[in-house]
Every structure is written in structure tokens, then in C-alpha cells.
């Protein structure tokens, strides 16, 4: 099993080159029968994450933006695993808080536990746009939609022994965010004043990290046997995150020093782009491996030691983000 960074929690080393399949081969026996939701399961690392977990007997709800996309994902998952795979559709459009509420209600109506929630869906470096609720799209989809979905499922997660919530963040939380959460210009009422697509992406990805931190603090305050973590999946060139026109234009130039620095410090280097099977490995690892450190930010199947935003452990910022997020969803 190829690795350039090691995990000290067990005797198996995983790293830059590890795949989701290798992770489930090591730990898949613990997943059989577990209930899993994967958002953004229809493409890229979300599909590979759902496939890997379904292949070892998890009951997977393949959340996607429309019922048709979700049903098609279920069909493809069965083709890639087994016709008997325990996979199910779940319509979830994160850019619509009404859809988020509907999806959470649909899942809760099934009266199932929720062992693993993988918040994988996201958009990257889009032109300025807003969600159906008037929220700047990257913050709205990448953070607020997932925030509402998780909080609506919070009690179910809390009731499930050893539940895990895995938030897929990005190295962008470090490379494209030097100011912390942009509280002074979040753009929650169709009113963004200053827009740089990469800064906004970094803002939403830092929100993912801080959300996991505060979620873990709340689990512990409530005595819940649950774990929340965030992660960077790696640089992956073949996902739909690359679909936006003009992503690598002038907007990104102001961040070149940080990008170049990261190329030399990131394990494997930024130029060592992962394929989708490698990109899904840390998500699956955080979802099922033993010894996961509660509240931490992971990279290459280990707690990240480099390229970590200075605000990652800012408890006051994490608490403020939670309160602001609560107010946003309550106002919509």
C-alpha cells in the first residue's frame, strides 16, 4: 500500500497514493449494515465514496440535486457493485433550503439510525451568483446547505452510537483565505459587495473546517458518542468542480505566492494530482477507520500537519459562524 505520510493510530499506513478501495479492504468489515448519506454522490469523489461504502455492505443514501440524478446514481452504483447493493435515492438541492428541509424530513421519516454523514457536495470558484434563497452561491451551497441539513439531522446523529460526520473541505481554506470568515460581506440577501471567486471558495471551505470544529464541541457538550472531522481530498483534476469557465483567470493571481508555497510543502506536491479513487480515500478513511481524532482536519488519511489555516482552531470564530448560520437559515 503506497504511502508518503503515515497514520499513527493503527498498523496500516495510508497516504497520498492510497485509494478508497484500499481503505474499505482494510476496514470494510465494520461498515456492513451501517446507514450512510453521501451528498453530491452522483459524480467524482462523491460517487467513488458511495461506491466504496456500498461495496462492503453499507446502506447508502445517494443524495443528489434532483430525484432523477439520484435515481440514476443508484442505478450506476448497483452496476459498479452488485444488483443487491443496499443503495437508495435522496433528492437534495443544497442551493434550496426548502429542498434541504424536505430531504432531511424524508430521511427522518424512515426512522433509521444515521451512522455516517459525508458532506461531500460542493461548487468551486464560480462567477458571482446566488442560491434560490439569495445567499452567495459558494457559501450557500458549500456551507449553509450542509449546515442546515446536519442540524436538522443532529438529534438522529446524537442518538446513533459512534456516528461520524465528515465534511469535505479543501486546501483552498488555507491558500485562498487570509482574513477568516467574511462576516462583513457574506452576501446572504443578494448583496455581495466585493467578489473574488477564489476568496469566496476559500471562505466556504474554511467554513467547512470551522463547522466540523464547532459541531464536535457541541457533540461533546451534549455527551454524544459522535465524531466530526473535515478534510482535504487532494488536488483532483477530473471532477466537475473544474467545470466553471474562467476559473483560472485574473482572480487567482493575487494568491499565487500561497499556491506556490503549498506546492513545495503539500505532501506529494500540488503538481501530483490525484485520480478519483485516491481523492475519495480520505473521505472513506475518516468515515470508517479506527482512531480518528475528533474535530481535526485531515489530509492524505492523516491529521494535517502543514498548510493549515491559522483560523482553524479559532473557537470564537467557529461559534460565531454557527450563530450566524443559525440566523441565516432561520430568516429564510
> DSSP letter string over 308-322?
--TTTT-HHHHHHHH
Q: How many CB atoms lie within 10 A of CB 274?
A: 23
- Using the 8-state DSSP alphabet, how is residue 143 labeled? I
Contact yes or no for 47/76 (Cβ under 8 A): yes
What does the alpha-carbon distance between residue 217 and residue 54 come to, in Å, rounded to a whole number? Answer: 30
Q: DSSP E strands: which ranges in the chain?
A: 35-38, 59-64, 87-91, 116-119, 163-168, 226-232, 297-299, 302-303
Contact yes or no for 276/44 (Cβ under 8 A): yes
What does the alpha-carbon distance between residue 15 and residue 278 come to, in Å, rounded to a whole number? Answer: 9
With H, G, I as helix, E, B as strand and everything else as coil, classify residue 100: helix
Residue 265, C-beta contacts closer than 8 angstroms, at least 6 positions apart:
306, 307
The C-alpha cell 449553509 sits at 144
Q: What grid cell was written down for 140?
A: 450557500
3-state helix, strand, coil in the chain (%, to 5): 45, 10, 40
- What b/e readout covers 36-52, taking b as 16+ CB neighbours within 10 angstroms? bbbbbbbbbbbbbbbbb
Single out the catalytic residue among 195, 248, 285, 298: 195
Q: Are strands 297-299 and 226-232 parallel, antiparallel or unpaired?
A: parallel
- Determine if residue 300 is left, alpha or beta; phi over 0 gives left, psi from -120 to 50 gives alpha, anything else beta: left
| Residue 195 among the catalytic residues | yes
Biggest CA pair distance of the chain: 51
- The catalytic residues are 195
Amino acid at each position: 500500500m503506497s504511502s508518503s505520510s503515515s497514520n499513527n493510530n493503527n498498523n496500516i499506513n495510508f497516504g497520498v497514493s492510497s485509494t478508497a478501495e484500499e481503505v474499505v479492504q482494510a476496514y470494510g468489515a465494520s461498515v456492513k449494515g451501517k446507514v450512510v448519506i453521501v451528498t453530491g454522490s452522483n459524480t467524482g469523489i462523491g460517487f467513488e465514496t458511495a461506491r466504496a461504502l456500498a461495496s462492503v455492505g453499507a446502506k447508502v443514501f445517494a443524495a443528489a440535486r434532483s430525484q432523477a440524478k439520484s435515481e440514476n446514481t443508484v442505478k450506476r452504483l448497483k452496476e459498479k457493485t452488485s444488483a443487491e447493493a443496499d443503495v437508495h435515492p435522496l433528492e437534495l438541492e443544497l442551493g434550496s433550503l426548502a429542498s434541504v428541509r424536505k430531504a432531511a424530513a424524508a430521511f427522518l421519516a424512515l426512522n433509521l439510525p444515521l451512522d455516517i454523514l459525508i458532506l461531500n457536495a460542493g461548487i468551486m470558484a464560480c462567477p458571482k451568483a446566488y442560491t434560490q434563497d439569495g445567499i452567495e452561491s459558494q457559501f450557500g451551497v458549500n456551507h449553509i446547505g450542509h449546515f442546515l441539513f446536519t442540524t436538522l439531522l443532529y438529534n438522529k446523529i446524537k442518538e446513533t452510537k459512534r456516528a461520524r460526520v465528515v465534511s469535505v473541505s479543501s486546501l483552498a481554506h488555507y491558500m485562498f483565505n487570509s482574513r477568516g470568515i467574511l462576516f462583513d460581506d457574506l452576501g446572504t440577501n443578494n448583496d455581495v459587495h466585493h467578489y473574488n471567486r477564489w476568496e469566496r471558495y476559500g471562505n466556504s471551505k474554511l467554513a467547512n473546517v470551522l463547522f466540523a470544529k464547532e459541531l464536535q464541541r457541541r457533540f461533546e457538550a451534549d455527551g454524544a458518542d459522535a465524531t466530526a472531522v473535515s478534510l482535504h481530498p487532494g488536488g483532483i483534476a477530473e471532477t466537475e468542480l473544474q467545470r466553471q469557465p474562467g476559473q483560472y483567470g485574473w482572480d487567482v493571481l493575487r494568491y499565487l505566492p500561497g499556491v506556490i508555497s503549498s506546492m513545495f510543502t503539500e505532501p506529494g506536491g500540488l503538481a501530483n494530482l490525484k485520480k478519483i479513487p485516491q481523492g475519495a480515500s480520505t473521505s472513506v478513511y475518516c468515515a470508517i477507520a479506527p482512531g480518528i481524532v475528533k474535530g481535526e482536519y485531515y489530509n492524505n488519511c492523516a491529521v494535517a500537519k502543514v498548510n493549515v489555516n491559522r483560523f482553524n482552531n479559532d473557537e470564537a470564530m467557529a461559534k460565531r459562524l454557527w450563530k450566524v448560520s443559525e440566523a441565516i437559515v432561520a430568516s429564510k
